[in-house]
């Protein structure tokens, strides 16, 4: 069996991604449709939260993804810095927009949920706040990619940004927890009650989460392939110019 | 203190520009790089100076023996000529700047802010910096831009004195410096072709 | 090293060097806040520690793009990179020079601005202490941001964008320390956290800054 | 003229051009304020209009040094001054390009940021209106400041300092308009004053800007 | 379309640098300014181009007939070669840039961002701008800096074509452009002395 690093070759990766992509896409569509339809239409209303509880099927998966996408970018950034495989850097680049969209979905669904639940669109609850900070990190990361012309330089710089940023993101999380403790006790109660969720709610939730994961994988494969193709076009043009 | 370059391939913007370069520079010698605009002289000098890594091949030279001077002079507009020179001489651990001031005829300008100098005066100051580095190998990119003929001669004299003191110089230039003892290397023939075989060029992992 | 520090300080004091501008900016932000939020002094004294910290942070932020970009533009950075100074030392010195010309004066002047915003009496020593502990971190983190964006023309805004999220923990603990001090609450935790962040950042971040600077120079 | 506008907009949208950064900066300032002053939403909603205006003003301020300094550095400004375009036209176009890439997006995005600071319900239309009326003045005044400081290397901080006092009337009437709107008070006076300032500034300041620019070029 | 300069005294940093200058430039002629570094050529050209006022004397030339090119090229790094040229051609009200691209051999570079060009290529682009202005009088400050010999020839040809079309050119340079038909004016003798009698120099209202 070949080493996993074989797939670090852009051509090989492209080919493999091309083979896997249709299956992942189908899987993502099926799980998403099943999870969301089940969640939205075939679960009973919650006795306290009414039908608004159903937004959980978007909110929780997207929130989970938002964090995990950053984590994946952290790993691929490290791989790029250590082993200098272009695919790795491009995968990080491809994942970032998906991550920021997930963050926005989590924030928006949270806000929509918060309106009936807490009577406000936004509160400076520690968890919400650290999500907003995550959003800022994504924003800076994307802005840096956008501002630099040379792809390898951009890959290096964004990788370092991602790694240092992760440390600071964790720090911020603690800082925010500390900051809002003294003032807003109990505001977090409305979160953190996974244990209370009954099975009727949780099965579609798990399916929905799986759907988001598959969707993310499909998008990252697709976008990484596009990035590879872009680089390839550029390389071909450059070679042509020399000839 | 000799510099040698083995089978060097250099890239700019991800594209190989020069390949298969081999040359060496012994103490006391000067080598002038020639070649049309855009062939890659600047890129080569930056690679030799260690500012960018080569794509393949290697540059052999004792670390910290190179004094590099590029298109921009690294002058601070709000420091006087003396302060500018003193700063670089401190950084490189030497103290005396009067030889440098004399060699480039800056005595009349010592108290002027560098920002108020004319183009050629700035360049002279930039070149005077080389003398205060005390480094043996000079790597210079178009050093005589904006200089009048008298100053070009002054520069050639400074290079000659440097060579006599056992230093060496690698220069890229388009004009005649009057350095008859220098060897000339035309880098034109080393231009990288489209079927360059060096691995890593053209992002060819992507092809 | 010392000569680099001296040069940077000298440049900061020369015409156009920007010394004192941070202070002036701080002053103006402090003055503008009452215009923006209205003049009620009870409201102002409540938000004073936070606003003072924010003002200091913004004043710091605005001067970040001078740390490295000037040297990049005139080619000094290339020359420094080929000089005997290690790049880690260069970025540390740059951060130090920035702190001496921005953070330190801000810290010393903060009590006067506190008066303008009717900061409660017991808050003053805590305000100064928190700024003294926190502003070095701002300079060091800012130098990292400056190194990241040094190749970008007039990257000031991008720089701010990148750096601000990194400032969040420092701001939170700093402002919290000042506020708790002003309200007479326990201050140990934020004090320790703030000191921890500052020392950690000073010890580690220069390596990252030198790394990205090297990437940008090539 | 049109081609200058198109070029400036194109540059703003290219890599490193800085479009959207103003917005991001605005967002960050809005987020940082609660970190500084604490998360109580009653307190925040009270200072929201002022803080939002301050944030917009700062985002504007930070991008001012791109208006003319880039063109100065690469020599375009010399060339434009010797071109058939009148310098008054050049500075007007520059201000317009700045507003289109900074002020307008800020105005459109302000309601979302209002949510973060729990701006009271009736305040939203007034906030947008006040920004729509006020930000053009910020761009025009900013261009004047940029013209004043164009010869100074990395004059960003000095520029901010010069411009801030000029921004005070706009800030006062703008924030006042937004606050009165939010609190349901009469809004006619600040509305008229704000509109007056903006139109006056647009009509007259470009001449002053062109004048100082000419002085700086020689 | 002729340019003439009468009894001109120019200052830099409040100090007169050249005084008593008289020359004129007829259509079809080129005038090369020579002089040692720091004598005041750049200052003179800026005055002629109308960027700074003379201390005394006057510059006679039809307004809006001068195309000025200085040390910096006014290129936008993030615009392509074509976009850069198109912009200036729009500003000056002309449309066609292909002649300019051809004259300076930029055809291979049209889609490249100006920021990625080499020093000489940038300079060629900066010079190509002159052709799209359609202005009759060229005022050029060291136009051939960084150019290789082939490009210098290209530039000389462009100047020659411009002269033949009834234009004229005022150039400051230190190197030989191969423009044998151009007159040469050495500005050295016009260097302002300390007992310059021109009123206003040295801020002598304060003396
Ligand atoms: C804009 C605002 C919001 C944001 C950014 C946000 C963020 C998050 C995040 C990050 C998670 C995943 C945490 C994890 O599982 O580790 C989460 C889960 C959850 N959120 Fe939100 N949330 C927001 C608003 C709300 C609101 C208003 C409610 C309901 C009142 C809510 C209820 C929940 C629940 C029930 C979970 C799942 C339980 C859990 O995993 O701990 N969220 N939210
Ligand atoms: N990002 C990039 N993408 C493609 N090509 C590039 C890039 N950057 C530079 N080049 C090209 O690399 C080549 C080498 O440039 P370099 O500056 O080394 O040339 P040079 O020999 O110093 O020329 P000159 O004599 O004009 O200074 C040039 O042809 C340039 O156009
Ligand atoms: N602020 C100032 N104060 C005093 N002298 C100044 C000031 N600015 C410029 N000068 C001097 O004015 C003189 C004229 O400068 P200018 O740039 O016109 O020279 P130049 O002939 O173009 O020289 P070069 O060939 O080197 O480009 C120079 O000697 C310069 O040192
Ligand atoms: Mg070169
Ligand atoms: Mg000159």
Domain-located, residue A171: yes
- The best mutation among B11, B13, B144 to test binding of ligand 2, ranked by most ligand atoms within 8 Å of the C-beta, falls on B13
Closest atom of ligand 2 to B42 CA is 22
- Going by C-alpha positions, the residue among E186, E200, E68 that lies closest to residue E137 is E68
CA E118 to centroid of ligand 2, rounded, Å: 4
| DSSP bridge partners of D182 | none
Q: State residue D206's pLDDT score.
A: 92
Nearest ligand (C-alpha, residue E40): 3
**Whether residue C146 has pLDDT greater than 90:** yes
Neighboring chain E residues of D10 at a CB cutoff of 8 Å = 79, 83
CA B41 to centroid of ligand 4, rounded, Å: 6
Q: What is the mean predicted confidence (pLDDT) over A181-203?
A: 51
The neighbour count for residue E205, using CB atoms within 10 Å, is 7
B79 touches chain E (CB under 8 A): no
Q: State residue D207's pLDDT score.
A: 93
The CA distance from E93 to the nearest CA of chain B, in Å, is 31
Among chain E residues, the shortest Cα distance to A240 is held by E108
Nearest ligand (C-alpha, residue B117): 3
Which pLDDT tens digit goes with each residue over A158-176? Answer: 999 999 999 999 998 888 8
HEC-encoded secondary structure of chain B: CCEEEEEEEEEECCEEEEEEEEEEECCCCEEEEECCCCCCHHHHHHHHCCCCCCCEEEEECCCCCEEEECCCCCCCCCCEHHHHHHHHHHHCCCCCCHHHHHHCCCHHHCCCEHHHCCHHHHHHHHHHHHHHHCCCEEEEECCCCCCCHHHHHHHHHHHHHHHHCCCEEEEECCCCCCCCCCEEEECHHHECCCCCCCCCHHHHHHC
A133 touches chain C (CB under 8 A): yes
Asked if this assembly's ipTM is beyond 0.95, the reply is: no
Q: State residue A183's pLDDT score.
A: 38
* Average pLDDT of chain A, as a whole number: 82
A139 touches chain D (CB under 8 A): yes
Domain-located, residue A211: yes
Neighboring chain E residues of D84 at a CB cutoff of 8 Å = 64, 91-93
Higher pLDDT, residue E30 or A243: E30
Q: Give B62: exposed, middle or buried? Use CB within 10 Å, 0-12, 13-18, 19+.
A: exposed
Closest atom of ligand 3 to E36 CA is 25
Residue nearest to atom 2 of ligand 1 (CA): A110
Domain-located, residue A224: yes
CA B119 to centroid of ligand 3, rounded, Å: 8
Which pLDDT tens digit goes with each residue over C158-203? Answer: 888 899 899 999 999 998 898 888 888 888 888 999 999 999 999 9
Neighboring chain E residues of D14 at a CB cutoff of 8 Å = 78-79
Domain-located, residue A125: yes
CA distances from D187 to D47, D56, D130, E134 (A): 18, 20, 10, 55
Whether residue D168 and residue C22 make contact (CB cut-off 8 A), yes or no, is no
- Element of type H or E holding A87: helix A86-118
**Whether residue A9 has pLDDT greater than 80:** no
CA C215 to centroid of ligand 4, rounded, Å: 20
| DSSP bridge partners of B184 | B32
Which pLDDT tens digit goes with each residue over C84-108? Answer: 889 999 999 999 999 999 899 999 9
Residue nearest to atom 15 of ligand 1 (CA): A64
Q: What is the mean predicted confidence (pLDDT) over A203-231?
A: 89
Q: State residue A184's pLDDT score.
A: 36
Residue nearest to atom 23 of ligand 2 (CA): B38
Neighboring chain C residues of A151 at a CB cutoff of 8 Å = none
Whether residue D78 and residue E51 make contact (CB cut-off 8 A), yes or no, is yes
What CATH fold (topology level) applies to the domain B3-74+118-206?
A: Rossmann fold (3.40.50)
Rounded CA separation A80/A154 (Å) = 12
Which of A122, A139, A148 is nearest residue D115 as measured by Cβ atoms?
A122
Q: State residue D188's pLDDT score.
A: 85
A160 touches chain C (CB under 8 A): yes
Long-range contact list for A169-174, CB < 8 A, 24+ apart? A169/A70, A169/A130, A169/A133, A169/A134, A169/A137, A169/C165, A171/C169, A171/C197, A172/A130, A172/A133, A172/C165, A172/C168, A172/C169, A172/C172, A173/A126, A173/A130, A173/A133, A174/C169, A174/C193
> Which tokens hold the place of E68?
């000025």
Q: What is the mean predicted confidence (pLDDT) over A209-232?
A: 90
CA distances from B184 to B5, B44, B171, C25, C87 (A): 15, 15, 9, 56, 34
Among chain B residues, the shortest Cα distance to A225 is held by B206
**Whether residue E200 has pLDDT greater than 70:** no
Domain-located, residue A15: no
Whether residue D82 and residue E67 make contact (CB cut-off 8 A), yes or no, is yes
CA distances from C70 to B134, C94, C136, C137, D155 (A): 26, 12, 21, 22, 11
DSSP string for E14-47: TEEEEEEEEEEE-TT-EEEEE--TTSSHHHHHHH
DSSP string for chain D: -HHHHHHHHHHHHSTTS-TTHHHHHHHHHHHHHHHHH-S-HHHHHHHHHHHHHHHHHHHHHHHGGGTSHHHHHTTHHHHHHTSSS-HHHHHHHHHHHHIIIIIHHHHHHHHHHHHHTT--TTHHHHHHHHHHHHHHHHHHHHHHHHHHTTTSTTTHHHHHHHHHHHHHHHHHHHHHHHHHHHHT---HHHHHHHHHHHHHHHHHHHHHHHHHHHHHH-
**Whether residue A185 has pLDDT greater than 50:** no
* Dihedral sign of CA atoms A106, A112, A113, A117 in order: positive
Ligand 2, residues at Cβ distance < 6 Å: B 12-13, 15, 17, 35, 37-43; E 116-121, 146
Whether residue E113 and residue A241 make contact (CB cut-off 8 A), yes or no, is no
pLDDT confidence band for C82 (50 / 70 / 90) = confident
The CA distance from A216 to the nearest CA of chain B, in Å, is 24
Q: Which of A107-116, A189-198, C2-11 comes out lowest in average pLDDT?
A: A189-198
Which pLDDT tens digit goes with each residue over E15-62? Answer: 888 888 899 888 888 999 988 888 889 999 989 988 888 888 888 887
Measured from the CB, is residue A57 less than 6 Å from ligand 1? no
CA distances from A39 to A35, A52, A210, C143 (A): 6, 12, 13, 49
Please state the domain count of chain D.
Answer: 1
* 3 state SS of A54: helix
Domain-located, residue A230: yes
Which pLDDT tens digit goes with each residue over C24-56? Answer: 878 878 887 887 777 778 888 888 888 889 888
Which of B37, B118, B120 is nearest residue E120 as measured by Cβ atoms?
B37
- Going by C-alpha positions, the residue among D109, D103, D72, D77 that lies closest to residue D90 is D77
Neighboring chain E residues of A149 at a CB cutoff of 8 Å = 78, 113, 115-116
Query: Which range of residues forms the domain containing residue C26?
Result: 2-217
Q: Which of D11-25, D31-45, D131-145, E178-192 comes out lowest in average pLDDT?
A: D11-25
Nearest ligand (C-alpha, residue B46): 2
A54 touches chain B (CB under 8 A): no
Q: What is the mean predicted confidence (pLDDT) over A125-133?
A: 85
Domain-located, residue A242: no
Q: Give B180: exposed, middle or buried? Use CB within 10 Å, 0-12, 13-18, 19+.
A: exposed
Measured from the CB, is residue A106 less than 6 Å from ligand 1? yes
A81 touches chain D (CB under 8 A): no
Q: State residue B194's pLDDT score.
A: 66
Which pLDDT tens digit goes with each residue over D82-111? Answer: 888 888 999 999 999 999 998 999 999 898
Domain boundaries, chain E: 3-74+118-206
Q: What is the mean predicted confidence (pLDDT) over D138-165?
A: 83
pLDDT confidence band for C209 (50 / 70 / 90) = very high
Phi, psi (rounded to 5 degrees) for E32: -105, 125
Percent of chain A whose pLDDT exceeds 70: 84
Residue nearest to atom 1 of ligand 2 (CA): B13
Neighboring chain B residues of C83 at a CB cutoff of 8 Å = 88, 91-92, 133
CA C128 to centroid of ligand 5, rounded, Å: 51
Please state the domain count of chain A.
Answer: 1
Q: Are strands B66-69 and B137-141 parallel, antiparallel or unpaired?
A: parallel
* 3 state SS of E139: strand
* Average pLDDT of chain E, as a whole number: 85
Measured from the CB, is residue E41 less than 6 Å from ligand 3? yes
Best C49, C66, C130, C156 member to test D by mutation, with max D CBs in 10 Å, is C156
**Whether residue A195 has pLDDT greater than 50:** no
Rounded CA separation C71/C83 (Å) = 14
Rounded CA separation A51/C47 (Å) = 40
Neighboring chain A residues of E113 at a CB cutoff of 8 Å = 149
Whether residue A183 and residue D38 make contact (CB cut-off 8 A), yes or no, is yes
Per-residue pLDDT of chain B (207 residues; tens, 9 = 90+): 788 999 898 888 777 888 889 999 989 889 999 988 888 999 999 999 888 888 888 898 877 888 888 888 888 888 899 999 999 998 888 778 888 899 898 888 889 888 888 888 999 999 998 888 888 999 999 898 888 888 999 999 999 999 999 889 999 988 888 888 888 999 888 887 766 555 554 455 666
Query: Which range of residues forms the domain containing residue A131?
Result: 22-186+199-234
Higher pLDDT, residue D46 or D155: D46
Rounded CA separation E143/E69 (Å) = 7
Asked whether A110 and D115 are in contact (CB, 8 A), the reply is: no
């Amino acid at each position: 069996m070949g080493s996993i690093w074989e797939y670090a070759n852009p051509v090989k990766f492209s080919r493999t991604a091309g083979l896997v992509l249709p299956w992942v896409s189908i899987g993502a569509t099926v799980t998403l449709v099943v999870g969301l339809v089940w969640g939205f239409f075939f679960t009973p209303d919650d006795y306290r939260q009414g039908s608004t509880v159903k937004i959980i099927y978007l909110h929780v998966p997207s929130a989970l993804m938002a964090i995990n996408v950053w984590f994946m970018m952290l790993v691929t950034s490290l791989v790029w810095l250590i082993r200098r495989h272009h695919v790795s850097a491009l995968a990080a680049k491809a994942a970032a927009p998906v991550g920021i969209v997930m963050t926005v979905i989590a924030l928006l669904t949270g806000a929509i949920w918060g309106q009936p639940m807490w009577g406000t669109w936004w509160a400076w609850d520690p968890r919400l706040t650290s999500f907003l900070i995550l959003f800022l990190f994504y924003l800076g990361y994307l802005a840096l990619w956008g501002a630099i012309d040379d792809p390898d330089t951009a890959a290096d710089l964004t990788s370092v940004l991602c790694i240092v940023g992760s440390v600071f993101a964790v720090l911020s999380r603690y800082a925010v927890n500390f900051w809002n403790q003294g003032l807003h006790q109990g505001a977090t109660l409305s979160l953190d009650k996974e244990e209370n969720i009954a099975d009727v709610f949780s099965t579609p939730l798990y399916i929905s989460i799986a759907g988001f994961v598959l969707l993310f994988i499909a998008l990252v494969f697709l976008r990484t392939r596009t990035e590879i193709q872009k680089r390839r076009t550029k390389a071909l043009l450059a070679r042509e110019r020399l000839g | 203190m000799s510099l040698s370059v083995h089978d060097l391939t250099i890239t700019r913007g991800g594209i190989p520009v020069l390949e298969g370069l081999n040359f060496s520079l012994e103490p006391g010698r000067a080598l002038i790089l020639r070649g049309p605009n855009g062939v890659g002289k600047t890129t080569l000098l930056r690679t030799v100076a260690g500012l960018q890594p080569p794509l393949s091949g290697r540059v052999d030279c004792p670390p910290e023996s190179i004094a590099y001077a590029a298109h921009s002079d690294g002058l601070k507009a709000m420091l006087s000529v003396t302060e500018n020179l003193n700063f670089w001489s401190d950084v490189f651990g030497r103290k005396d700047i009067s030889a440098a001031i004399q060699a480039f005829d800056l005595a009349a300008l010592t108290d002027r802010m560098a920002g108020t100098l004319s183009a050629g005066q700035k360049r002279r100051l930039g070149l005077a910096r080389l003398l205060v580095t005390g480094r043996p190998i000079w790597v210079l990119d178009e050093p005589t831009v904006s200089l009048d003929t008298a100053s070009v001669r002054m520069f050639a004299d400074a290079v000659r004195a440097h060579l006599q003191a056992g230093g060496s110089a690698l220069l890229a230039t388009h004009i005649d410096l009057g350095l008859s003892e220098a060897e000339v290397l035309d880098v034109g023939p080393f231009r990288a072709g489209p079927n360059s075989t060096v691995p890593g060029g053209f992002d060819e992992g992507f092809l | 090293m010392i000569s680099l520090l001296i040069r940077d300080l000298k440049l900061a004091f020369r015409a156009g060097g920007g010394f004192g501008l941070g202070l002036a900016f701080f002053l103006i932000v402090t003055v503008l806040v009452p215009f923006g939020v209205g003049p009620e002094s009870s409201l102002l004294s409540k938000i004073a520690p936070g606003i003072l910290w924010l003002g200091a942070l913004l004043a710091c932020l605005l001067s970040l793009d001078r740390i490295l970009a000037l040297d990049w533009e005139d080619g000094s950075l290339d020359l420094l990179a080929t000089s005997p100074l290690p790049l880690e030392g260069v970025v540390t010195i740059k951060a130090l020079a920035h702190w001496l010309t921005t953070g330190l004066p801000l810290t010393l002047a903060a009590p006067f601005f506190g008066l303008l915003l009717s900061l409660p009496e017991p808050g003053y020593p805590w305000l100064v202490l928190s700024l003294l502990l926190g502003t070095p971190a701002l300079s060091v983190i800012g130098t990292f941001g400056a190194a990241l964006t040094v190749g970008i023309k007039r990257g000031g805004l991008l720089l701010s964008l990148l750096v601000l999220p990194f400032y969040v923990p420092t701001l939170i603990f700093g402002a919290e320390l000042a506020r708790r001090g002003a309200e007479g609450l326990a201050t140990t935790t934020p004090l320790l956290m703030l000191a921890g962040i500052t020392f950690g950042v000073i010890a580690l971040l220069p390596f990252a800054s030198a790394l990205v600077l090297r990437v940008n120079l090539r």
